[in-house]
Amino acid sequence: MREYFAAILISEVEEFMSLWNKRILDVGGARGEFCKVIYNERKGEVINLDRDSSQYVWQKTIIGCAEDIPSKDNAFDLVICRGVLEHIRQEKQQQSINELFRVTKIGGICYIMIPPWYNPHAGHELKPFHVLPFYVAKYLRALIFRERINAESFEDINLFPITFKKMLKMVTISGFKVMATKDTHFRMHFLTKIPVIQEIAVPSVSFILKKEKRTPKLSHNLNFCLVF
């Protein structure tokens, strides 16, 4: 599955930019499987960034997080952030997108994928009840699926709402230009253009963004102790 979705990512990004021999950062890339596939297919310098240091399959892995990326400005041709923002506190989601903007080269591409909150797929271990209050969702999950969840809040399982509408607002504030939105799973891309439907019917939406020559509307923290 990793190879399949990595191939989709490559094909979607290459509608706008070749990935051959580019400098690429995968933010929140877990064990680095995507980095491995992308390098095998397109070479270049591919770096994995994740907060957990265990069991990597990609050698070029650095410890860090989306809201405080240890890198200089304009460092990467492509910055990837798949299935990460819904695990970041809402008050830090904008900061994280500002960071993705900062480290993307001018003229470069940022690829962000989210599961819109109102889609049944978005709830991870609480799906499809996650849109309900936490204790109701937890009870229904245990009752119907016989799965015990040892948590007392959405925060305990690192799950935070992010909608299609909010995502569009945040990437605009950051300074990115939206080049395309894609239905990552079912490939019915037209659904991402229809209000309400884009929030409910699409399990995972990829936002393909370009950094142009303009200043983001929000400032971000530039105090970092590590530089790639």
pLDDT in tens, 141-193: 999 999 999 999 999 999 999 999 999 999 999 999 999 999 999 999 999 99
CATH code for position 103: 3.40.50.150
The yes-or-no verdict on residue 220 having pLDDT over 60 is: no
pLDDT tens digit string along 127-138?
999 999 999 999
Which range marks the domain in which residue 151 is found?
Answer: 118-159
Give the DSSP letter string of 105-166.
EEEEEEEEEE--TTSGGGGGGGTTSTTS-HHHHHHHHHHHH------SSTGGGT-----HHH
Element holding 80 (H helix, E strand): strand 76-82
For residue 103 the two structure tokens come to: 């480290």
Max Cα separation, the chain?
A: 53
Judge whether 175 lies within some domain.
yes
**Which residues are CB-contacts of 6 (< 8 A; sequence separation ≥ 6)?**
33, 34, 37, 38, 41
For residues 24 and 105, membership in a common domain is answered with yes
**Residues 31, 124 share a domain:** no
Does 37 lie in the same domain as 137?
no
Q: Quick: pLDDT tens for 18-52.
A: 999 999 999 999 999 999 999 999 999 999 999 98
